[in-house]
Amino acid sequence: MHTTPKVNRDLFEPNYIQLVRIFQDQISTGLLRPGDRLPSESQLCKNHHISRMTVRRAINILVEQGFVVTERGRGTFVKPIQFWSASFNLNQLRNLLSDENKIKIKILEASITNANDILAQKMKVNRGQRLLHIRRLILSVDKPIIYHREYLLYDPSRPIVESELDVTELKCLFEGTSNSYIKYGSLSLEATVLNDNEARILQIPEATASLTIEHTFFDFEDRPISWGHFICPGLTLTFTTLSA
């Protein structure tokens, strides 16, 4: 028989974090298995000599992290693995683009076009509306890795053309430092096969598999102000995650 660790009030680490870690460890070592009940909150208070709010805080974190579920009147239970709990985030893309020294952004085209039917629908404007069209190539150590096509609302009352042409606009988006016009975005991820034009631009064989991230960004009046695609060929971008 061995005793479980106790919260130590003398450490720098807050008590509730210590308690979270204690349970994470017990779950990951299999000491606590899916379906097992955790000690009740009042028991934990006594065992660790901490208050109820501190215990609840720890348990809430475990709930958010997906390790346990609470059932009122019954107790708190270790959750079984759920395939769905996995989620893919864009951190790999972030890391890819974060190395300032390696990354260059080349403007391939910047022109004014008139909205066709698709654009009119996507940007919620009338057909024929003037739109700014920008095509960029993102290079890492002078090797093309991502191709970006974007259509922007061309609003003469907003002097954004300069800044949007600039590389910084894209970087701001990445870094979240922009005090920009963007309230939120809608992203969509799908698999595509490069056409000959895209393949030539990216300097890789045609018909290569590619991940395409379609984005629409909205301003504070909920109007779309940007619609475009990041085209990330082959293995420049893979998503990895844990399902716990």
Partner DNA sequence: AAGTGGTCTAGACCACCTA
Partner DNA sequence: AGGTGGTCTAGACCACTTT
Work out whether 187 is an interface residue with DNA (CB under 7 A): no
Query: Binding residue for DNA (CB under 7 A) from 5, 6, 31, 53?
Result: 53
Is residue 14 within the footprint of DNA (CB under 7 A)?
Answer: yes
Per DSSP, 224 falls in state: E
Of its own copies, DNA, none, which one does residue 122 interact with (CB within 5 to 8 Å by kind)?
Answer: none
| Phi and psi angles of residue 118, each rounded to the nearest 5 degrees, phi first | -60, -50
Site residues, its own copies (CB under 8 A): 28, 30, 33-35, 53, 64, 79-91, 93-94, 173-180, 182-193, 207-211, 217, 220-221, 234-235, 238-244
CA angle 48, 54, 59 (to 5 degrees): 95
Q: Indicate the residue among 151 and 230 with the shorter CB distance to its own copies.
A: 230
CB-wise, 52 or 94, nearer to DNA?
52
Dihedral angle sign, alpha carbons of residues 206, 212, 218, 224: positive
Decide if residue 15 touches DNA (CB under 7 A): yes
Smallest separation, CB 94 to DNA (Å) = 23
Tokens of 128: 């024929």
Find which of DNA, its own copies, none residue 142 binds, CB within 5 to 8 Å per kind: none
CA distance 141 to 132: 28
- Does position 56 interact with DNA (CB under 7 A)? The reply is yes
CA distance 33 to 27: 6
**Which residues lie below 8 Å from residue 103, measured CB to CB, with a gap of 6+?**
97, 138, 139, 140
C-alpha triplet 95, 100, 103: angle, nearest 5°: 80
Structure tokens at 196: 């000959």
Per DSSP, 148 falls in state: E
Rule CB under 7 A: is residue 42 a binding residue for DNA? yes
Q: Report the nearest approach of its own copies to the CB of residue 244 (Å).
A: 5
For position 38 contacting DNA by CB under 7 A, the verdict is yes
Residues near DNA, by CB under 7 A: 9, 14-17, 38, 40-43, 49-54, 56-57, 59, 70-76
